[in-house]
Structure formats: structure tokens, C-alpha cells
A and B are shown apart, each in its own frame.
Chain A
Amino acid sequence: MLAKMMTRLANAAPSRRSFMIGSAAAAGGLAVGFRSAEAAGGATGGVTPFNAYMRIAPDSSVTVIAAHMDMGQGIYDGIATLVAEELDADWSQMKAIGGAGNPKLYGNAAWGGAIQGTGGSTGTTSSWERYRIAGAAARQMLVAAAAAEWRVPAAEIRVAKGLISHASGRSAGFGELAAKAAALRAPASVTLKDPKDWVLIGNDKLRRLDSMAKSSGRMDYTIDVKLPGMLTAVPIHPPLFGATLTSFDAAKAKAIKGVVDVVQHPRGLAVVAVDMWSALKGREAVTAVWDDSKAENRSSADLAREYRALALKPGLAVARNEGNAEAAIAGAARTIEATFEFPYIAHAALEPLNAVVRRNADGTIDIWGGHQMPDIYQGTAAAIAGVPPSQVTMHVMKTGGSFGRRAVIDADVIVEAVAVAKAIDFRAPVKLQWTREDDMRAGRYRPAYVHRLKAGVDRDGRIVGWYNHIVGQSIVAGTPFAAGLVKNGVDMTSVEGANNLPYRFAAQKVDLTTTQTGVPVLWWRAVGSTHTAYAVEVFLDEVAALTGKDPYEYRMSLLDPASKHARVLKLAAEKAGWGSALPAGRFRGIALAESFDTEVAQVVEIAMRPDGSFKVERVVCAVHCGVAVNPDNIRAQMEGGIGFGLGAVMKSQTTLDKGRVVETNFDSHEVLRFDEMPVVEVHIMPSTDVPTGVGEPGVPPIGPAVANAVFAATKRRLHVLPFARVENA
């Protein structure tokens, strides 16, 4: 959904046709990418290594420059696979790095190309065509260089596993011919491989390029950036959202050994020190007075009460309306109603937020970080530093998770890092590092929501009317994304997964009431579907139970049997042995959700313990995501999405006590732990469709599938999240 909406942002984007293949010599090798008329300023010159999509070095290594940031979802490997496939490279010669801050070249093609960004599970879709074209173009140029060198027809030259060869016995690696290839004109067009000739796309044996580095402590993240003379800063944020600084006293802090300065920035204060520990000690010693008069001071319970009251009224906006749902429900043979409550949740990526800023002697600025939207941050940083954006270089680091947190629109951590560096006159590079408490206390969160659902069924158990009223904050209101994502007062990210259901209802209405609070919110892995899919899939199970139908059969009766939704649901049910007998104490639940054009169905098995608690033992997951580029990574993302979503529904929440965040570290903001992880079995639906994303879509079905299993076991419906809340006891 989000991906589709983002395309509306794209009015100003260059069309695909305006991309031309470009090539250039790069450090003795070959660089291939695209140049658009805009990027080249209308000139016809070759691309530079900076804007290339891939480079071949004299040592034959092939480095892809990824337009998308890798937060663990494996997009670098996906892009490397696409290039290597068309290039006929050997997997062992591939490398990947992040390209940065240049929407003209790295604009997200799935969003229309207007901005560079990673999100909405679009990385593979966005890369599918252009990176294969880049690989094919480079291959063609290498072949042409070999043909000229060996004086043989290009058609007789073979390329396989990184070796260019001819029947005459001549052969060469890419590196040997890269410089000669770079002197040739890039082809105007290329022919991509027939899928039957793929050797790397869909290959289950490919391993990730970075597994060894990550298993041996050699992967460098932003927190690991070391620069000569670099200082470390930790922020001080207001204790309440919306509070502003009145005054502060830094004398005691500055007396602490290692503390260099205490400075103000647009989001609060920061303590700058020679190392992290001195900065933390300094922070304890700062006293600050805040003006709370405009701050958010409600508690989570207050908000829930207000939201529940709003849910009883008609919505302020309509997200879908077919037939007369309310009248149909009123006149139905039987009706059912339920209200669901979802908490705020922190993203809690394991690497707390950070960024490193350095101003160079020539006035240019380098910024290292997990830049999920690098060109937005480049502009923000440039404005604070007072330089043109072209003088700011964004270094996109791999990050220790994100789950949406690093796609922050207001660039919070970048603002702080640049402002702090500026406050000390850029006299040293600054690493701004948040602690876990900063990360959980200072926002941002998946918004809290209340959903009220009603359905009416006829005597045969068919749904004659479906009504869903969603109450909660907008993620994009007040941001530049609102223009594309808010239509008729409906923030699409609030309702996706509720207003695009594949189920056939005789009449349906989806209402939205957007609320205002001072709590900063953001997309959180799978965005709207993290709550909409839960409410819909649990409620649908309740309707099935009301009609005495099997939850799987009932869903199937509402789906077009030829749809991908029906096919993944069927696949999951079959593989899980839906309907077969289970050992005593075991129960099943099922759920289906499409997010970001990827359909996922999950069947869970839970084991009830004598004390009434339960463990999720097994999850069978079926996914349709188009061509499976890296099947093992698709499995990994489904496993990860399931674990992430399961921890959230079981235990995670960020609650407010008179505006103050209660859960500030992993002792109270609980997440899934090792012994709670189920066995996960993933089945990928064979497909020839353009690939769709897998980073997020594994998340939405797990919560409702587990809740539905709990119902099967206990006849209890879990309407308040997380399950650990006392309301459910």
C-alpha cells in the first residue's frame, strides 16, 4: 500500500525512459550506471564513479553501489545478485556498498524516483530492472573489449563465473579487460537474460556477503566510526514531549574530566566529551529547567479512554465505503462487535541512534549514519551547517536494525549531530550517540490505536455488512509526505491493511478518526498493517466462530480462489496440516495479510501450559513475493518478521504516565527472547511476477494467528495488546 501511495509523490520524477546507460573509467576499472538528462545537466559526458551502479576494479572485484540502505534485510545482497546474474560474475567476486544522497541516480524507482529512500519493502522492486540493466551493460562492454583484443567476433565469446573466454583458448578475468571496456561507448540498450538461464537469481546456495564480517566483529556500523580527534556527544531531551528548555546549568558537568562542552541544539542539549563514559557522566551532572506548559502530559490510559469514546462516534473521514454497511449490519440476522486497543511501541533497533559529522578543511561536510532517506537528511544538514547540499556527503552505513526508525522524516538525529558539531564550531568531528534510554524515551513510536469493528451476518453465515472505525494519530500529517499519503483526510498509513481487504463483503465501511497528541510517531516495521491486520484477522475469526464455520474455510469462502491471497492461505493451511489432529494441549490459529503487495499467510501452533500461559511452538508461513531473488533471505526475513511481531504482541509497549515514558530499556520494554522463538517453516509461492518486498510483510499475520490459536484453546479473545496487559488476565 505505502509503496503504491508513494508513487503519487513522484510527479516531478524522471521517467524511466529518461535514464540512459552510462559508463566511465574508474580507478583503472569500469563503472556502469545510468545517467538521466537531469543528472548530467543535459550534457552527454560519461558518468562518474560516484554515480555508477557498479564498478569493476583491476583486481576483478565487482562492487555494486546500492541505492537502498541495508538494515539487516539483505538488500545489498539482493542488488549484488541482480548485477552478478546479468554480468555472469562469480558470487565470490561481489561486494556491495551504499550509494548516497543523490535522488537523480538512486531515487527509489518504486516510489517514482523523486527521492532516495528505503522503506515500504520496496528495495527489490526498485532495483529489479535498473541493476540488471547495469550488469548486462557492463557484460556487453567487457565482451566487446575482449572481441577487440582477441580479434574474434563478440558472438563467440562466453562469460561464466567471472571468466571471459573464447574457443581459441583465450580467457581473461573482468579486471584485465575493465580499463579497455571503460574506453568503449556504453550500449544504448541491452537484452536481459531469459529467466530459464538464471544461475544466481533464485539460487538457494548463495550466502550473504557480510555474514563472516558480522560473525567476527568486523562489520563497522555508525557507532564504530573512528576519526582522528573525534568527540562523543550524548543528547539531553526534554522529559516531556513538547517541553522546551528554559535554562540550564552546566558548570558541574564541565568540571568532570573528559567533558569538553555542554551545548544547546534545536532538540535540547548535548554533552560533548572525549569519550562516551565522560559524556554520560557529564549528562548526569547537568541541571536543566524545562517549560512544560505546552507539553503532552496525558497518560496512556487517558488516551485509550479518549480513543474508545471517539470510536463510538462516527469517523471524521471515510477510507472505504461500499454499499450501506451500517444499515446492512443493523438489519442483519446476527451481529457482532469488538473493540481493540494497541499501544505505542518503540522500534528498539539494537544499535541506538547515532550519526557522525565532520567538517573538512575545504568546508565540505561528511555525515556517516544509517541514512534511510539520505537526500532529505543532506538538505536538512546543509541548512543547519549553512552550506549548499552539494557540499554535504552522506555516507550510508549498514545499521544495527531500523524497523522504520531511521526513515525519520524530521531527521532528528542528523539535526542533533550537525547542530552539536556546529555549536563547537566544527573544531572536531562529533559522534552523536543515543543511549537505549534516549531511544525509548525520546520517540518515535508506532502510534497507539483503537479499532472498533462491527459485522452483520445473514442466516447462512455470510457477511452482509462490515464496519471498521480506526482511531489514532497520523504518521505523515504535517510532513512533506502528507501531500502524497493523505487523501480526503485519510492518512493511508493509518488504514492500509483495513481498507484494501481481499475479502468479499456485501457492504463495507472503513472510518478513520485522526487524533492529535504531542507524542512523536513513525512507521514501524509493516506500518499500518501492524494494527489493522490484527484487528481484522482476529475479528474475522470471531465472525467465523459466530457462524460455526472453520476459520480457514470461512476465509476461503470470502476470497477469489484464483487470487494470490487465497493461494498463500491454502498453501499455509496445507503445509501446516490444517484440520488434522493435534497432540493434547496444542492448538492452531491462522491469519492472512497482504502488505506492500506481498501476500503472507501463517498457521501457528501453540502449546498451553498448565498455568494458562502458552508457547508458540511452530509457525508455518506461506509467502507470495514475485520472483524469489534470494530464497534463503526471504525465509530469513519471514523468520525475523515473525519473531519481531510475536515479541510485540506478547509483550512490547511504550506507555505514558502523565506524559512520561515508563519503559526506557529492555528490562521494562520487553521484546522476544531466545527461548520464546518458535520453529518457523517458510514456503515461497513460485512466481514470475516482478519481485515485491519481504522485509516487513512477515510481521502482520503472526499476532492475529497467535491470538486465534489462543481463542481455539481458551475461548478468550485478546482485544488489548500486548497480551501481557492485565486486561487480558
Chain B
Amino acid sequence: MIELRVNGAVHRLDIDPDMPLLWAIRDHIGLTGTKFGCGIAQCGACTVHIDGQPVRSCSLPVSAVAGQAITTIEAAEGPVAKAVQAAWTALDVPQCGYCQSGQVMTTIALLEANRKPSDADIDAALSGNLCRCATYARIRTAVHTAAKALA
């Protein structure tokens, strides 16, 4: 039995301890906002927060995160999350949208830690999140917009 704390709820799951957190969240907890893009920590589509830090859930076995506070896009709440999603929709950032859960989660973590990120800070935070639709320029603008709204 593995005990996972996801979005404030405790789930006791009879799953392989090697199972990546991504598949536990998607297939066993039933939260599918977190996406699968590469499985090897190269695309960021699977980004969730563990104790507020953005992590790639595809590359973390559940045994390594048992008991820690995991937050998925479904529970992204609070002023920063609101500001980020407001900027994302005002600028129509998403195209296919498949990467955007990860982009939003990475951005929330960035802004929680740094309320006035420079372009270099944004590059550093988001270069691990691929967007095949190349919405990158709008994401950059949206991060600045959200930061301004929070100031």
C-alpha cells in the first residue's frame, strides 16, 4: 500500500512502488489534467507541485513521494493561480492546450517564489516545458501580465 496525499486528500493505493506518480494520479486517482508527453522529464507536460516545487511526475516513483503534499492542476488555487489563469485566457495562450497544464503549474511555482521575474528568470523556469504549438511568446507575455496583476 502506498499512501499519496494529492490535493489535500489521502489515497491508499495498492500499486507498484515503482509506478511513476503521473500514472498513479491519472489512472488510479482519476485526475487527468496532468498530461503525458515524454515520460523522461523532457517536456514538462506532467508537472505537479510537491511542497510547492514544480516536479515532473512522469519520472518520480510513487515510493519516493509517499506522504508528501502533492498538488495537481485541478487544485491550483489561490491568488497566483487565479492571476496566471486570467492572464492565460486574456491572451488566449493555449492552442492545442496539451502542454498548458504543465506551463501553468510551472508558472505558478515561479511566481510563488519570485513575484517579479525577469525574462531570464522566465527562460530558466520554463525552458523545460515544451510547447509543440510554440505558444512561448504568449506565455512570456502572460507571465509578465500575471506578475503585474499580483504586484
Contacts and interface: CB of A to CB of B under 8 A. Distances in A.
Nearest to B81: A216
Interface stretch (A38-46, A47-55, A176-184, A399-407): A399-407
A276 B96 CA distance: 23
Residue among A210, A232, A276 with the highest chain B CB neighbour number at 10 A = A276
Interface string B49-82: 0000000000000000000000011101000000
Contact of A351 (B37, B40, B129): B37
B98 A351 contact: yes
Contacts of A78: none
Given A665-B38, A666-B42, A666-B130, A72 B96 contact: yes
A348 B132 CA distance: 8
B137 A639 contact: yes
B21 to A, nearest CB: 11
Given A207-B89, A674-B127, A224 B32 contact: yes
Contacts of B19: 277
A374 interface: no
Interface stretch (A91-99, A488-496, A675-683): A675-683
A350 B37 contact: yes
A632 B95 CA distance: 12
Contact of B96 (A213, A216, A400, A436): A400
A308 interface: no
A214 B35 contact: no
A314 to B, nearest CB: 39
A278 B18 CA distance: 11
Nearest to A676: B136
Interface residues of B, number: 59
Contacts of A275: 23, 27-28
A636 B135 CA distance: 8
Nearest to B134: A643
A207 B131 contact: no
Nearest to B104: A215
Given A351-B37, A666-B130, A674-B139, A215 B74 contact: no
B130 A671 contact: yes
A436 B23 contact: no
A675 B132 contact: no
Nearest to B33: A217
B149 interface: no
Contact of A214 (B28, B97, B132): B97
Nearest to B90: A207
A435 B30 CA distance: 19
A215 B32 contact: no
A722 to B, nearest CB: 16
Nearest to B85: A215
B133 interface: yes
Q: Which 4 A-B pairs have the closest CB atoms?
A: A217-B33, A643-B134, A400-B98, A72-B96
